[in-house]
Amino acid sequence: MSDFKQRALDYHSQPSPGKICINLTTPAETVEDLALAYSPGVAEPVREIAADPDNAYKYTAKGNTVAVISNGTAILGLGNLGPLASKPVMEGKALLFKRFANIDSFDIEVTHNTVDDFINTVANIADSFGGINLEDIKAPECFEIEQELKRRCNVPVFHDDQHGTAIVTAAGMLNALEIQGKQIHDCTIVCLGAGAAAIACMELLIKCGAQRERIYMLDRNGVIHTRRDDLNEYKQLFANNTDKRTLEDVIEGADVFVGVSGANLLSAEALKLMAPNPVVFACSNPDPEIKPELALKVRDDLIMATGRSDYPNQVNNVLCFPFIFRGALDVRATAINDEMKVAAVEAIRNLAKEPVPEEVLKASGVSSLTFGPQYIIPKPMDPRLLKNVARAVSIAAVESGVAKLDLPAV
């Protein structure tokens, strides 16, 4: 067994199995404590909440708790390995929520037969939480699931693999193109993958100025084009009127490659065909579409990002979901809307241009980080993400009319 594999397994099994636990916030030592915490005292908040459901925010942990919910159908880039196998990732998301935004999470792995079963399960428990973070649910079901849950739930519902990924990709892409001296409007973009992350990333890049006709999306059957008859309604939006059929066909002269598909699917030969000064986001986890060492060996004019923590430029939704939920919970937003997403893109993007504090350099194991090809996007452990992104999101929620509370004082 490799050393890294053993260390990863040890990390998850020691000092106790898993990565999270529940702690108490109130004393529970004496008879009086228990009389307050449980019977008879607990009846008082019960009555208050029955009289007004908003009192759940006052007397329970609801307002600072997010449910991380998966069915395990698209676990990272590992595929459909079932609900239970997704649990380490969902506990990982809970770890990140707590570590970066002090949000408590429950991970919930749902076994279901139909899409309706899944939707009903989540809708029926949603009121227990301040928000719902859907995770690693494959396309195309994820689109219907999110849409229906948004309609049925009173709390924000956010599919992280769609919108968290899209927000971070857009922030990193705008910065990378700025460094490469390119305008997104003029770029030819190749997107390998046509699932949850791909569709959302491309839609957000279009909102940021990319031209739909200059995007070539590919799935397992190659380029998505207008003469295919096997496309779902989401892929159809990206059907290109083209004779190009393969990755090699579309990548020739392309400015941008976004990989949200699977491991090692972009060859060095294909990369060589890209236009000068390309941007390659190989975001598949745990293994990118092309390894940075290989990519940088064949192109020295490249800006390269992956989804991983162990290379420069980590384009990963960890830079978004803790902070967008912090911003939403702080003003009790009823939804996470486009205004809040755009605010998050701008806040993440701008932070990469600020001088980096010593503590971030230390945690990153480097002596300097300056806006440029090796640093297009902030590091997840940058404490300013919490302040800047959450605040920007809260302001956008208030201004767009979905906040139930005023902005908290700074």
Ligand X SMILES: NC(=O)C1=CN([C@@H]2O[C@H](COP(=O)(O)OP(=O)(O)OC[C@H]3O[C@@H](n4cnc5c(N)ncnc54)[C@H](OP(=O)(O)O)[C@@H]3O)[C@@H](O)[C@H]2O)C=CC1
- Choosing from 105, 261, 364, 388, the residue that interacts with ligand X (CB under 6 A) is 261
Contacting residues for 310 by C-beta, under 8 A, at least 6 apart: none
Of the candidates 130, 193, 312, 378, which one interacts with ligand X according to CB under 6 A? 193
161 labelled binding-site residue:
yes
> What's at 20, amino acid-wise?
I
Which phi-psi region, left, alpha or beta, contains residue 93 (left: φ > 0; alpha: ψ -120 to 50)? alpha
Helices 338-351 + 321-330 axis angle, to 10: 120
Nearer to ligand PYR, 317 or 388 (CB): 317
Closest residue by Cα to residue 217 from 166, 177, 266, 258? 258
Residues, the chain: 410
d(CA 298, CA 296): 5
The binder of 392, among ligand X, Mg ion, ligand PYR, none, by C-beta within 5 to 8 A per type, is: none
Query: Which residues does the annotation mark as catalytic?
Result: 38, 93
Gyration radius of the chain over CA positions: 22
By CB under 6 A, name the one of 16, 51, 113, 220 that touches ligand X: 220
Q: Which is nearer to Mg ion, 136 or 287 (CB)?
A: 136
Instruction: Give, as ranges, the residues between 147 and 166 that touch Mg ion (CB under 5 A).
Output: 161
Concatenating the DSSP letter of every residue in 257-310 gives EEE-S-TT-S-HHHHHTSPSS-EEEE--SSS-SS-HHHHHHH-SS-EEEES-TT
Nearer to ligand PYR, 70 or 180 (CB): 70
Q: How far is the CB of 126 from ligand PYR (least distance, A)?
A: 21
CB of 263 vs ligand PYR, minimal distance in Å = 12
- Which of 135, 255 has the CB closer to ligand PYR? 135
Q: Minimum CB separation from Mg ion for residue 136, in Å?
A: 4
Sequence-ordered list of residues with C-beta below 8 angstroms from that of 31, at least 6 positions apart, any chain: none
91 is in an annotated binding site: no
Closest residue to ligand X in the complex (CB): 195
The CB density around residue 200, as the number of other CB atoms within 10 Å, is 27
With b for 16 or more beta-carbon neighbours within 10 A and e for fewer, the 211-247 pattern comes to eeebbbbbbeeebbbeeeeebeebbeebebeeebeeb
User: Is 316 part of any known ligand binding site?
Assistant: yes
**Taking the complex as a whole, how short is the minimal distance between the CB of residue 409 and ligand PYR, in angstroms?**
33
338 is in an annotated binding site: no
Is residue 231 helix, strand or coil?
Answer: coil
Q: How far is the CB of 117 from Mg ion (least distance, A)?
A: 21
x/- track of binding to ligand PYR for residues 70-109 (CB under 6 A): ------x---------------------------------
**Alpha-carbon gap, residue 388 to 237, rounded angstroms:** 34
Nearer to ligand X, 27 or 286 (CB): 286
The reply to whether 136 sits near Mg ion by the rule CB under 5 A is yes
Q: Site residues (CB under 5 A) for Mg ion?
A: 136, 161
Residue ranges at the known binding site for a divalent metal cation = 135-136, 161
Q: Site residues (CB under 6 A) for ligand PYR?
A: 76, 136, 160-161, 285, 307, 316-317
Residue ranges at the known binding site for (S)-malate = 285, 316
